[in-house]
């Protein structure tokens, strides 16, 4: 068996500007995800940690650190049995670096899964990476480690919402898909507001993508649903929820007669 990858790479040429991915059957009988890059191929497990390892006997480092934090909280329970919280952060610089490197593996996999149409897998991996951001923000010792991943929160939130909405479209539930998109937009707005960057919300690429997706979905809604949208619009105005009212007005305008 040769170790030279030349023939493999020739049989599967790299296409610039494209995310080239495929699923192959591994020697162990399990599916493997392969991503073609300009200089080679990345291969990932379809489940568990993408590189197939089990750090400290756990499915991932994130699971390991989450368990450590939970155990620390239980160990600090008060005499009354009330749940305690660790008195000090538990993630040092090395812990956070390893978590970031692991998150990159899951990033490669969820963008591959999106191309492959495995939306449940995208939802799983994006939800998981959001947990990495949460644990670093709450438990990292260094302020830089608490903040460095936050720049990716809007993007990961968008990808998760996109997968949720697309899964609903596949299930022929366009109304549910619209709800997933609106929830994603609200979550991204909250992220920008929390970081005092509310003025950047309207121009964010993630917002543009989700809004474009929503516009396409609205055009596919049956005209019979106009009456329901009008009722929701009236209720939103009555509740003084003017942001939702504006969204519903746009949806009504885009719907075909």
Q: Could you give the CA distance from residue 75 to residue 83 in angstroms, rounded to a whole number?
A: 9
Q: Which residue, 132, 159, 127, 126, is CA-closest to 148? A: 132
Q: Which residues contact 241 (CB under 8 A, 6 or more apart)?
A: none
Pick 80 or 70 by higher pLDDT.
Answer: 70
Confidence tier at 62 by pLDDT (50, 70, 90): very high
Q: Could you give the CA distance from residue 210 to residue 61 in angstroms, rounded to a whole number?
A: 31
pTM of the model: 0.81
Q: Which residues contact 231 (CB under 8 A, 6 or more apart)?
A: none
Report in angstroms the alpha-carbon separations of 196 from 189, 202, 248: 11, 14, 27
CA torsion 168-171-176-178 (nearest 10°) is: 50
Whole-angstrom distance between the N-terminal and C-terminal Cα of the chain?
64
Please say whether the beta carbons of 46 and 33 come within 8 A: yes
Range in 120-124, 142-146, 156-160, 245-249 the model is least confident about: 245-249
Q: Could you give the CA distance from residue 139 to residue 91 in angstroms, rounded to a whole number?
A: 6
For the record, the structure tokens of 137 come out as: 């923000």
Confidence tier at 224 by pLDDT (50, 70, 90): low
Q: Which residues contact 202 (CB under 8 A, 6 or more apart)?
A: none
Confidence tier at 221 by pLDDT (50, 70, 90): low
The answer on pLDDT for 84 being more than 50 is no
* Helix orientation angle between 153-170 and 119-139, rounded to the nearest 10 degrees: 150
Q: Which residue has the tokens 């105005």?
A: 237
Q: Could you give the CA distance from residue 249 to residue 246 in angstroms, rounded to a whole number?
A: 5
Predicted pLDDT at 218: 77
Report in angstroms the alpha-carbon separations of 46 from 14, 25, 49, 103, 156: 22, 11, 8, 15, 19
The answer on pLDDT for 255 being more than 90 is no
The answer on pLDDT for 69 being more than 50 is yes
Predicted pLDDT at 81: 46
Confidence tier at 254 by pLDDT (50, 70, 90): low
Helical segments of 117-220, H only: 119-139, 143-147, 153-170, 174-194, 205-220
């Amino acid at each position: 068996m040769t170790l030279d990858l030349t023939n493999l790479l020739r049989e599967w040429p790299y296409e610039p500007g494209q995310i080239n991915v495929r699923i192959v059957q591994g020697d162990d009988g399990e599916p493997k995800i392969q991503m073609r890059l300009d200089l080679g191929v990345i291969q990932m497990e379809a489940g568990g940690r993408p590189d197939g390892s089990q750090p400290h006997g756990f499915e991932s480092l994130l699971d390991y650190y989450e368990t450590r934090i939970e155990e620390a909280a239980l160990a600090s329970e008060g005499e009354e049995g009330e749940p305690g919280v660790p008195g000090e952060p538990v993630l040092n610089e090395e812990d956070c670096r390893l978590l970031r490197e692991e998150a990159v593996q899951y990033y490669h996999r969820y963008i591959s899964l999106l191309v492959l149409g495995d939306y449940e897998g995208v939802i799983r991996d994006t939800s998981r990476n959001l947990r990495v951001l949460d644990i670093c923000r709450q438990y990292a010792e260094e302020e830089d480690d608490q903040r460095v991943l936050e720049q990716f929160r809007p993007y990961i939130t968008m990808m998760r919402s996109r997968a949720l909405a697309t899964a609903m479209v596949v299930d022929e539930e366009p109304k549910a898909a619209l709800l997933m998109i609106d929830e994603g937009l609200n979550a991204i707005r909250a992220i920008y507001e929390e970081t005092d960057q509310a003025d950047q919300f309207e121009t964010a690429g993630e917002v543009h993508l989700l809004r474009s997706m929503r516009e396409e979905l609205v055009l596919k809604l049956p005209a019979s649903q106009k009456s329901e949208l009008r009722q929701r619009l009236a209720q939103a105005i009555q509740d003084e929820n003017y942001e939702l009212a504006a969204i519903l007005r746009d949806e009504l305008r885009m719907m075909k007669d």
